[in-house]
Amino acid sequence: MTAKLKIAVLGATGYSGLELTRILLHHPRVEKPLLLRRAAEGSTPSDLAEIFPALSGNGAYPLHPLSWSWLKQEGVELLFLATPHEASRTLAPEAIHEGLRIVDLSGAWRLKQARHCAIYGFRDADTLKAAELTEKAIYGLPELHSDQLPGAQLVANPGCYATSVILALAPLVRADLLNREQGIISDSKSGVSGAGKEPTAKTHFVSVADNLSAYSVFNHRHVGEMAEQLGIDTQELVFTPHLLPIPRGILSTIYVRLKNSTTAAAIESCFRSFYQHRRWVRIFATPKLPQVQFSLNTNYCDIGFCLAEDGQRLVLVSCIDNLLKGAAGQAVQNMNLMYGWREDEGLQ
Amino acid sequence: MTAKLKIAVLGATGYSGLELTRILLHHPRVEKPLLLRRAAEGSTPSDLAEIFPALSGNGAYPLHPLSWSWLKQEGVELLFLATPHEASRTLAPEAIHEGLRIVDLSGAWRLKQARHCAIYGFRDADTLKAAELTEKAIYGLPELHSDQLPGAQLVANPGCYATSVILALAPLVRADLLNREQGIISDSKSGVSGAGKEPTAKTHFVSVADNLSAYSVFNHRHVGEMAEQLGIDTQELVFTPHLLPIPRGILSTIYVRLKNSTTAAAIESCFRSFYQHRRWVRIFATPKLPQVQFSLNTNYCDIGFCLAEDGQRLVLVSCIDNLLKGAAGQAVQNMNLMYGWREDEGLQ
Amino acid sequence: MTAKLKIAVLGATGYSGLELTRILLHHPRVEKPLLLRRAAEGSTPSDLAEIFPALSGNGAYPLHPLSWSWLKQEGVELLFLATPHEASRTLAPEAIHEGLRIVDLSGAWRLKQARHCAIYGFRDADTLKAAELTEKAIYGLPELHSDQLPGAQLVANPGCYATSVILALAPLVRADLLNREQGIISDSKSGVSGAGKEPTAKTHFVSVADNLSAYSVFNHRHVGEMAEQLGIDTQELVFTPHLLPIPRGILSTIYVRLKNSTTAAAIESCFRSFYQHRRWVRIFATPKLPQVQFSLNTNYCDIGFCLAEDGQRLVLVSCIDNLLKGAAGQAVQNMNLMYGWREDEGLQ
Amino acid sequence: MTAKLKIAVLGATGYSGLELTRILLHHPRVEKPLLLRRAAEGSTPSDLAEIFPALSGNGAYPLHPLSWSWLKQEGVELLFLATPHEASRTLAPEAIHEGLRIVDLSGAWRLKQARHCAIYGFRDADTLKAAELTEKAIYGLPELHSDQLPGAQLVANPGCYATSVILALAPLVRADLLNREQGIISDSKSGVSGAGKEPTAKTHFVSVADNLSAYSVFNHRHVGEMAEQLGIDTQELVFTPHLLPIPRGILSTIYVRLKNSTTAAAIESCFRSFYQHRRWVRIFATPKLPQVQFSLNTNYCDIGFCLAEDGQRLVLVSCIDNLLKGAAGQAVQNMNLMYGWREDEGLQ
């Protein structure tokens, strides 16, 4: 048996970072991950199980201050960044300079240079280094870019909403079935962990429970990723996110019109052939539709659809667990492909 | 002071019927309602507070077997039917024959004759009596038909989803602002009380909690009402209901395209002028949007919107409490207008 | 008709203050309350409906900076303090000095002087003014102290947990039925609004949903109130609060042992006679038990019980809505009795 | 590597059976389990993934009609019964007659003969066969009876509530630290999956959400197990179960008094030494307490405590996932020990 990969996680104290750590702890190909914290996070507590008692009982999970020299000394090859996008924007170039490979779970490297400037407001957007790295970064949606992952130095893990929307639309867009002039609409709903661990008025239990609310209409950052990856104009897509009173899970209901009248069988076949070798997409035969619960705690993206009697109006339903296929699970899937392992290693 | 109206409620043991009873018990213009049960419901328990202990402490709520002669003897003038649509279809003609006025909360009399036949499968659809009564029935959405309510003998209280969708679209359709060829999409989400009190696999707590699911895509009955009331073809409207993990409340996110580029101010003005004399519609100025919680336990329909930069793509958000503005509250609002009272009597 | 009472609310932006404002807006005996904010809260927003859009549609709810002279000028007689206990401790003496009557919803004046010092750490505890006022303050649990309310200048509204526990135990303690040497245990569970509106890690939706946790075991502040009002030693009572994944409501399960074997009928009779003239306590006949939902959105305290076959081990279940009978509703009930009105005025 | 064990599951369509199937599918020591259905369940659907779409994407899960000859032919050695207790009472003797070993998740074989008669009302209670088998059955709480599991033919998997209560009390009872005359109280709260998959008025989402209710006070069946396993009289224990608005998880808050004043360190030490070799019990050092979330989706029983200043009043908090340590996880733990494998095989 070959030696296991040495890895590290920066940001294990957030929801995605915790989920990532859980998976990596049981991944057969990697050593127990080194857990890092940024200076900004302070020094206490010093063990992840103090923050997440659910982890206790399996030994220690020490949180080390980030140090490039120490990582080198420990033989770490791959670093997961589960950090805010501003931090990732600074840290990724440093890490790559140190010879590490990176899977970044933030939005820092997902978009083309100009768009990053506009959407994330990075002031480095026109510097040479950032421009170079942006060009090198691989958008880590393995169902679209698995061939580019083995050589990737920097993988930009997709946004959770973006994953659910892109995977539902890519087969139809690539097959040029959509009447895009009629517009594409994604009405998406996400559990609260998607809003992060920071306590705010918006994430207070009393604000969320017994409620549903739409937000960021016409200006959510993930629209940039969706448009780029689907090769459409942002104007062609209306995306409305909603905050669901559940801890995790995303369901996107997507409305499109087909160029020509077609059959449910043809739609299903389009999806099945597009994803025929992909382990983590499940296609539901009409009239069955995915529900949030079905993909919860899994790395699956579930896709179903209903076609109107006219054969043209099509409703797609796409579900993922926002912390797995929408974040940590996908990050591990990306690692698996970067190292030539089976796509589902450690994810079953 | 004039004498109070004598009223009765058939079906107080369901969610809408209970809510209706609660409101009527405190309504200043009516006497304590007589509560009736159908033969099919059996004879026990004989008091509503045995089923809903929350009601106890304010005297008795006896459930009487339905009897037309007894209602006449008691001087009842108005009967609320909170019954399944099959029962309402049979009972309403009988009640009218007995000289009662009716507010029916079911779907039995909401649609034109032909459509009823197709959607609800009523076998009486071509009989003379049913046809006559269908013609007489007033669709009880007071914001559209308040002028017809004073003389109404049979008021068909709208469906909950239909109320949220029609109120959001009517001002735009009437003003002919929509590019209807591009389609109208309503992505609607409802709390579980909308599915009724019957325990089923679908309403089991474990099936609903931590979940979201779409259902009845392209074939929900309320689409008929929406199309009729808006004066559009059912083909122009895509309606997708979803089951939310909350007890009550509806949020509809509605996607339309405008014929001509316009401003948010013009949209707001269109809504405000359409509803300027209506007590139970609240318009939210962009960028504020309604949330389910805001209209919970009220009879309001809250409407907000976001207009894209192109001035043409418009997202509407419409919220109601499905048991109030979507059922019992609207039934009382209809009664108020049938008897010439203030629209918000007993509903504040 | 006599003139309506002029009142003001300080702290309407919190959960209890909002609920209080809602009730007072529809109370037939009082004028629309003046809403005040403390300097510490800053100046924006200036209208309560901006914070709670659910309130909108009924005119303005301006938030005024607190000013004694302005209150005097407006003719305000009664001031509700829905403020943190530190603020109430400072403001109540000032307000009384200005001739106002006070209902304080905080814990600032609920306990005897020495205990306040120990539990709340007030540094003024030994000053003459605080000592005097503490002595004057009436513990506003109307079921125990209704006779003292008409003359009260300062009413200390009870804690939510304390209300649910004291009302369930008082009849048994007063009748000297309990074997107190065996201890009294209250296992209480509260919805999240009881923890206040401040967003914290503890109130984050993801921390609360799908969870239950005990906290403050052996050191919750409300134990002081319970012991004082029941006339027992704090050592005789074990009180364990838990945080429930619901927005509001409290259920206390209380375990006691009776001195002598008795019957369920005798227990029920003890409760019924103790509360026979009290509007807001409902006694459940065994084996029926109250549930959180039954008293939600009401001012009731619901009490039920189960007696073991030995006639000595007794389990009590007591439920309230923590924001109503546990806070705002009780505050209004206190006002009603202070002014000689019916106990349920404005609370039905 | 030795051949994998051949196993079967009867009742995979219930919540516990599904969870059990999930675990067994990934257990390294067993072959893919044969899934069986009883005649009473009818014949459709024929695949478990049709009932639980979450399972799909990993091949077929055919449901076979129960047939002893077919099980023999397939070489099945161990049968899990996830059936109602009446069914288990009939099937276990048959299965044992056929040479199978049994892990039964129901209450059919947990109690001594006389008690079974009284609590479960089995009419066979005095027959020779049932009496014999009752005597042979091992109560499958591995933390107490691991030495008896290797030779067991019939393992009676404990009740969920019983597991949480017994594990918290056993160390203290065995060490004779409790003043049992003062009584032992367990106030337990469970998620809804504990009530089973049958849709009832009690499990309807609207009945459970935003609610909490106590039930079966003084007459829950699990009290029999608790008393037998702890070696106490049922009169010494007051057990009150409550229904929580969460899908899964149990938290028991347990109140005891110690014979002699002691220290928190001594209590902790008592627990740690009792469970020192047990993989699936986690002890929390005071003042830390377990929460439902911590043990969710794990096989852990988490135990914490708070000791009053008097060193005698002790509050214990015990949490499990009712479907894992309270059912399916424990069943697998039992299997592991029956076959001499590591206790956590397949459960990590």
On whether the CB atoms of residues C73 and C44 are closer than 8 A, the answer is no
For the segment D138-188, what is each residue's pLDDT rounded down to a tens digit? 999 999 999 999 999 999 999 999 999 999 999 999 999 999 999 999 999
Q: Does residue C121 sit in the same domain as residue C166?
A: no
Does some domain include residue C255? yes
Residues of B in contact with C300 (CB under 8 A): 57
**Three-state DSSP class for B192?**
helix
Cβ within 8 Å, pair A210-B183: no
Look at the block and give the residue holding tokens 């809505």.
C321
Region D302-328: what's the mean pLDDT?
98
Neighboring chain B residues of C57 at a CB cutoff of 8 Å = 282, 300
Q: How many CB pairs under 8 A join B and D?
A: 60
Q: What would the pLDDT profile of D99-118 be if each residue is shown by its tens digit?
A: 999 999 999 999 987 777 78
Nearest CA among C209, A22, A53 for reference residue D294:
A53
Amino acid at D248: R
Indicate which of A206, A292, A296, A297 best probes the interface with C, i.e. most C CBs within 10 Å of its own CB.
Answer: A206
**Do D192 and B206 make contact, defined as CB atoms within 8 angstroms?**
yes
For residues C124 and C171, state if they share a domain.
no
| Same-domain status, A85 and A125 | yes
Model pLDDT for residues C91-100, shown as the tens digit of each residue: 999 999 999 9
A231 contact C CB<8A: no
Residues of C in contact with D246 (CB under 8 A): 209-212, 245
Q: Which residues of C are catalytic?
A: 160
Q: Which positions ≥6 away from A246 have C-beta within 8 Å? A: A191, A192, A292, B209, B210, B211, B212, B245, C209
Q: Phi and psi (nearest 5°) for B219?
A: -145, 35
- Residues C124, C194, single domain; the answer is no
Residue with tokens 């962009």: B286
pLDDT at B123 over 80: no
* pLDDT value of residue D57: 83
CA distance D44 to chain C (A): 33
- Position D268 scores a pLDDT of 98
B240 and B149 within one domain: no
Asked if B290 reaches chain C (Cβ–Cβ under 8 Å), the answer is: yes
Overall pTM surpassing 0.90 (yes/no)? yes
Say yes or no: B127 and B183 in one domain: no
Q: Do residue D249 and residue C210 have CB atoms under 8 angstroms apart?
A: yes
* Number of domains chain C is built from: 2
User: Which residue among B210, B238, B291 sits closest to A255, beta carbon to beta carbon?
Assistant: B238
List the 198-227 stretch of D: residues with Cβ below 8 A of B: 199-201, 203-210
User: Are the beta carbons of C199 and A201 separated by less than 8 Å?
Assistant: yes
Compute CA distances A331 → A38, A77, A138, A322, whole Å: 20, 15, 12, 12
Interface contact flag, B54 C282, Cβ < 8 Å: no
Q: Which residues of D touch A284 (CB under 8 A)?
A: 53
Among A26, A210, A293, the residue with its CB nearest the CB of D54 is A293
How confident is the model over C11-24, as a mean pLDDT? Answer: 96
Q: Are residues D211 and D281 in the same domain?
A: yes
* Nearest by Cα to D143 from D279, D304, D270: D279
Contact at 8 Å (CB) between A338 and A140?
Answer: no
pLDDT tier for residue C38 given thresholds of 50, 70 and 90? confident
CB-based contacts of A298-302 (< 8 A; 24+ apart in sequence): A298/A324, A298/A325, A298/A329, A298/D54, A299/A324, A299/A325, A299/A329, A299/A330, A299/A332, A299/A333, A299/A344, A299/A347, A300/A325, A300/D57, A301/A143, A301/A163, A301/A164, A301/A167, A301/A325
Is residue A345 domain-resident?
Answer: no
Chain B residues inside the 8 Å CB shell of C26: 348
Kindly tell me the burial class for residue A216, based on how many C-beta atoms sit within 10 Å of its own C-beta (0-12, 13-18, 19 or more).
middle
CATH at C273: 3.30.360.10
Note the pLDDT of residue A120: 86
Instruction: Return mean pLDDT, chain B.
Output: 94
Q: How far is B331 from chain C (nearest CA, A)?
A: 21
Whether pLDDT at B229 is above 80: yes
Pair (A276, A130) in one structural domain: no
CA dist., res. D188 & res. D172, Å (int): 19
The reported pLDDT for the residue numbered A122 is 82
Of C56, C57, C294, Cβ closest to residue B53:
C294
**DSSP 8-state symbol, C191:** -
Contact D249, C210 (CB under 8 A): yes
Per-residue pLDDT of A36-66, as tens digits, reads: 998 777 766 789 999 999 998 878 999 999 9
Strands B34-37 and B138-139: unpaired
Work out the average pLDDT over C74-78.
Answer: 98
Give the pLDDT score at C120.
86
Work out the average pLDDT over C117-130. 74
Cis upstream peptide for C287 (omega within 30°): yes
| Average pLDDT, integer, range B128-155 | 93
Q: How confident is the model at residue D125 (pLDDT cuts 50, 70, 90)?
A: low
Chain A residues near residue D297 by CB distance under 8 angstroms: 297
C217: closest CA among C257, C186, C256? C186
Residue-level pLDDT at B125 = 58
User: C16 with C62, same domain?
Assistant: yes
Residue D1 has pLDDT above 60, yes or no: no
Is residue A197 located within the same domain as residue A311?
yes
> Which pLDDT band, with edges at 50, 70 and 90, does D126 fall under?
low
Q: Determine whether B160 is an active site residue.
A: yes
Contact in structure between A304 and A288 (CB atoms under 8 Å) = yes
Burial B43-54 (b: 16+ CB within 10 A, else e): eeeeebbebbbb
Q: Are A10 and A37 in contact (CB under 8 A)?
A: yes
Q: Which residues of B touch A209 (CB under 8 A)?
A: 246
pLDDT value of position B126: 56
What number is the average pLDDT over the span D225-239? Answer: 96
Residue D265 belongs to a domain: yes
Mean pLDDT of chain D: 94
Predicted confidence (pLDDT) at residue C126 exceeds the cutoff of 60: no
B346 part of a folded domain: no
A288 touches chain D (CB under 8 A): yes
> Domain containing B78: what range?
7-157+327-338
* CATH code of the domain in which C115 resides: 3.40.50.720
| Closest among C348, C334, C312 to C179, alpha carbons compared | C312
Q: Are residues C83 and C206 in the same domain?
A: no
pLDDT at B195: 94
Interface test with B, best of A164, A179, A184, A187 (most B CBs within 10 A): A187
Chains contacting D (3+ CB pairs below 8 angstroms): A, B, C
* Other CB atoms within 10 A of residue C219 CB: 13
Q: What ipTM describes this predicted complex?
A: 0.96
Does residue B113 register a pLDDT over 80?
no
Q: Do D53 and A294 touch (CB under 8 A)?
A: yes
On whether residue A96 sits in a domain, the answer given is: yes
CB A106 within 8 A of CB A116: no
Is D347 a member of any domain? Answer: no
Residues C139 and C176 in one domain: no
The DSSP secondary-structure symbol of C47 reads B
Rounded to an integer, what distance in angstroms lies between the CA atom of residue C184 and that of residue C232?
Answer: 10
Beta strands in C26-116 (DSSP E): 34-37, 63-65, 78-81, 101-104
The candidate with the shortest Cα–Cα distance to A28, out of A337, A344, A334, is: A344
| Confidence band, pLDDT 50/70/90 cuts, at residue C125 | low
Q: Do C205 and A203 touch (CB under 8 A)?
A: yes
Contacts of B207 in chain D (CB under 8 A): 205
Task: Tell me how far apart the alpha carbons of residues A289 and D56 are, in angstroms, rounded to a whole number.
Answer: 13
| A200, part of any domain | yes
Does D311 reach chain C within 8 Å, measured CB to CB? no
Does A233 contact chain B (CB < 8 Å)? Answer: no
Question: A2 vs chain B: nearest CA distance in angstroms?
Answer: 41
pLDDT reading at D5 higher than 90 = yes
What pLDDT is attached to residue A132?
Answer: 86
D246-295 pLDDT, tens digit each: 999 999 999 999 999 999 999 999 999 999 999 999 999 999 999 999 99
Which percentage of chain B shows pLDDT scores above 90?
A: 89
CA–CA dist D204, D192 (Å, integer): 10
pLDDT higher than threshold 90 for residue D92: yes
Contact present, A251 and A292 (Cβ < 8 Å): yes
In terms of Cα–Cα distance, which of C22, C7, C25, C105 is closest to C297? C22
Minimal CA separation from D54 to chain A, in Å: 4
Q: Per DSSP, what are the bridge partners of residue A251?
A: A189, A319
What average pLDDT does this structure show over B123-143?
84
A143-157, B53-67, D197-211, range with the lowest pLDDT: B53-67
Residue C1 pLDDT? 57
Reported as a single tens digit per residue, the pLDDT across A60-80 is 999 999 999 999 999 999 999
Residue B38 to residue C62: CA distance in whole angstroms = 50
Q: What average pLDDT score do residues B120-131 get?
A: 74
With beta carbons less than 8 A apart as the criterion, state whether D266 and D240 touch. Answer: no
* Of the candidates A188, A346, A184, the residue with the CA atom closest to the CA atom of residue A280: A346
| pLDDT of amino acid A126 | 56
**How far A88 CA sits from the closest chain C CA (Å)?**
24
Percent of chain D at pLDDT exceeding 70: 97
Q: Per-10-residue mean pLDDT for chain A, 348 residues long?
A: 91 96 97 90 81 89 95 97 95 96 97 81 72 92 98 97 98 97 96 96 97 96 96 96 98 98 98 97 96 98 98 98 98 98 96
Contact partners for chain A, using 3 or more CB pairs closer than 8 A, are B, C, D
Residue C347 lies in a domain: no
- pLDDT at res. B119: 83
pLDDT digits 0-9 by tens, B18-41: 999 999 999 999 999 999 998 777
